[in-house]
Structures are given as structure tokens and as C-alpha cells.
Amino acid sequence: MRKRKLAILICFIAVLTTAFMPGKGYTKADTGFSLSKISDQALPDKTLTVTLNGDNLNGLYAYEATIKFDPEIVELVKAESKLEGYFITPKVEDGTMTIAFTKIGKKTGEQGNIALASILFKGKTKGDAGIQLVSVKALDPALKETVYKNKMTFDDLEGYEWARMEIETLATSGIIKGTSATTFSPGAKITRADFVSLLVRALQLDTEVEGNFKDVKQTNYFYKEVGIAKKFGIALGTGDDKFEPKQRITRQDMMVTAERAMKIAGRMLDEKDSDLSSFRDSGDVSTYAVNALTRLVKKGIIEGYNGMIKPKDLASRAEAAVIIYRLLNI
């Protein structure tokens, strides 16, 4: 009996750790997975409980769920299965947790709407915990797999169809957050600190922070990301060892910062520059930004608006999302 259980468990782990295409064995209209929670707002030392639910299940035998959260705001305390079977200890890395479960032996799969697991977080500071379900791999009793990906969207993207796909893709991946559970505020201007933080997280840049700009405090939520950007030479500041983190960033400064970050991440090769003459306002680009912008134009990262590059306009959250998406898909 022990050998049989071990064989089933080994088979389950092998299936979950192999990159399968979604199978045909676990399909039913409206089947899905969701998280239920009272609030996303964390407070220091206060707990947040989240429940992973299966919706309209049709023979769920095993699953692997990936959940994102903001590690600067909350930390995982524990996760417990609500089903009888084998529950794998959660794996947590950089704000992404993976939980997995399997039944043991010849048993029927779960049916209908049921709670699968309970997850407990503890607040580290006040803020939006950003807890969201990314995807679930579901297996039926024959170990045939279907992958369910939760697509995030927002209620205020009307008029921003040019950025909708990029915003939703980055939000679904946990790279960018909304300003609330239902809004993204695409037209709001993005700050220097927020854009640099977004770049650092998206490109997965990491190093030990050794000091920071004198106007960036350790209590700031962006302290680590700005410190990493400073050490790598991505964020050069505005002079006198200041960064002006809450100042809104211009389009040309956003692009210059992005180009530096791409070099550090090894995602952009130095190439012969193209030119900006095709843009009617190319003369408005500051001298320090010309080389970076021409390289990004050549890579297709910058396309402009009606023949204009608008270098000194303030960058919006929607524009930042599009730039980040294109950088990640070079």
C-alpha cells in the first residue's frame, strides 16, 4: 500500500513539474478557480485570510495553483488544504507562491463549487497586499491536465484600447498593479519612483542595496528598487544626490531609464543608432536622450503619436505599461 501511494505521488509531482499543453481530459464550460477574501488592505501584524475556490469542478483530482502577493506589504504565514489528500508545503519566492494538492489512490475527483485551500497572510506594513490568483493546473483522475489562467481586467480602460492588452497582460502576471481592485487609472501620470520600481521588478534586477539617494528614505515602499537602480546606474538622479522620487516622469526620461535598464538586464545590444527625423518634433528631444530614444525607435519600442514623439510630455500609467510590455517582448 505504501509503495502504491508513493508511486502515485511521484507521478503527480512529475506531471506538475513538466511543461504540458492544456489537455482535453479536464474540460467543462464555466469551470474555473478564484480567490475569495474580505479585503486586500493590510495592516501591520494583522492577518488576511484568503480562500482558493474551485468553481463548477468536473472531476478535480489534483491541482497546482500560483498566487501573487506583494512581499513588501504582507508575508505568508501558512496554507492549509480543505480537501483530504496530500498537500505540498507552499513554495514562496519573490512574491509568488505555489501550492499543490493531490488525492491518493483510486478516488473520484471533486465536483461542483468547493473551497480547496485556506491561505493566511500577515501584514508587514499598511497597504494593498496585491493578492491575486495567476493560474491553476488542474488534473482529473486520469492525470490529464488543463491550465486555467486568470485574466485581470479593469473597469476604466475605455478609450485606452491601444494599451488594454498590455495592461491586462502585465496585471495578470503581477508585474503591474491597479489603483484599486477594479481600476487602473490609465491616464494618471506615473512618478519617477514608480516607473523605476516597475522596471526593476519587471526585468527581475536584484543586488544588495548599498546606500541610496538622500531624498529616498528606508521607509519608502520604493526604497529597495530605487537603490538597485542607483547601484546599477539606471537611475542617475537629478543632481546633488537627489532623485525626486515623487516627481512625475517625462516620456523622454522614461525611455532613457528603460534603455539603461535593458542594457543591465542583457536584453538590448548596442547597435548603430537610427535617427528621429521621421518625427515632427524630433528637435524637442534633449541632447542626453537622443541616443537612447533612437535605439528604442529602432527596436520598435517607441512608435510615437501622429508622427510626434512628445518627449517632454509627462508619461501616463498606460504609456508606462506599453513600454514595459514591449521591453519584455523584444
Residues 320 and 190 in one domain: yes
What pLDDT is recorded for position 82? 96
More confident residue, 140 or 271: 140
User: What's the rounded mean pLDDT across residues 3-29?
Assistant: 42
Q: Does the residue 283 lie in any domain?
A: yes
What pLDDT is recorded for position 153? 83
User: What's the rounded mean pLDDT across residues 47-60?
Assistant: 94
Residues 143 and 200 in one domain: no
Q: How many domains does the chain have?
A: 2
Domain end (from 95, 117, 149): 149
Strand order in the sheet with 110-123: 32-37, 47-60, 110-123, 74-81
User: What's the rounded mean pLDDT across residues 228-232?
Assistant: 95
3-class DSSP assignment, residue 106: coil
CATH (domain of 138) = 2.60.40.680
- Cα gap 205→213, rounded to integer Å: 18
Alpha carbon 53 to chain centroid, angstroms:
21
Residues 246 and 112 in one domain: no
Q: Is the pLDDT reported for residue 7 higher than 60?
A: no
User: What's the rounded mean pLDDT across residues 183-207?
Assistant: 94
Range of the domain at 289: 161-328
Q: pLDDT for 240-291, tens place per residue?
A: 899 999 999 999 999 999 999 998 988 765 565 567 888 999 899 999 999 8
What pLDDT is recorded for position 274? 63
Q: Does the residue 155 lie in any domain?
A: no
Residues 137 and 194 in one domain: no
What pLDDT is recorded for position 160? 96
Residues 190 and 121 in one domain: no
Average pLDDT, the chain: 86
Residues 85 and 223 in one domain: no
Q: Does the residue 207 lie in any domain?
A: yes
Could you give the C-alpha distances from 231 to 121, 226, 254, 257, 289, in angstroms and in order? 32, 9, 18, 13, 20
Residues 49 and 94 in one domain: yes
Contacts made by residues 219-227, CB under 8 angstroms, sequence distance 24+: 220/193, 220/245, 221/72, 221/125, 221/127, 222/193, 222/194, 222/196, 222/197, 224/72, 225/193, 225/196, 225/197, 225/200, 225/201, 226/193, 226/196, 226/197
Would you call 105 exposed, middle or buried from its count of C-beta atoms within 10 A (0-12, 13-18, 19+)?
exposed
What pLDDT is recorded for position 244? 95
Are residues 251 and 311 in contact, defined by beta-carbon separation less than 8 angstroms? yes
User: What's the rounded mean pLDDT across residues 126-151?
Assistant: 89
Q: Does the residue 249 lie in any domain?
A: yes
3-class DSSP assignment, residue 111: strand
Lowest mean pLDDT among 2-11, 196-205, 233-242: 2-11
What pLDDT is recorded for position 273? 57
Angle between helices 161-172 and 317-328 (to 10 degrees): 60
Q: Is the pLDDT reported for residue 92 higher than 80?
A: yes
Residues 200 and 258 in one domain: yes
What pLDDT is recorded for position 127? 86
More confident residue, 26 or 108: 108
Q: Does the residue 321 lie in any domain?
A: yes
Q: Does the residue 309 lie in any domain?
A: yes
Q: pLDDT for 99-109, tens place per residue?
A: 999 999 999 99
Q: Is the pLDDT reported for residue 25 higher than 80?
A: no
User: What's the rounded mean pLDDT across residues 301-329?
Assistant: 92
Residues 44 and 176 in one domain: no
Domain end (from 89, 123, 149): 149
Q: For residue 135, report the phi and psi dihedrals to the nearest 5 degrees.
A: -160, 160
Q: Does the residue 154 lie in any domain?
A: no
Domain end (from 92, 125, 149): 149
- Cα gap 57→115, rounded to integer Å: 11
Tell me the pLDDT band of 180, cut-offs 50, 70 and 90.
Answer: confident
- Cα gap 279→274, rounded to integer Å: 12
Residues 124 and 226 in one domain: no
Take residue 157 and report the three cell numbers written for it.
480602460
Lowest mean pLDDT among 147-161, 262-276, 290-304: 262-276
Residues 73 and 195 in one domain: no
Q: Does the residue 156 lie in any domain?
A: no
User: What's the rounded mean pLDDT across residues 142-165?
Assistant: 90
What pLDDT is recorded for position 24? 37
Residues 269 and 171 in one domain: yes
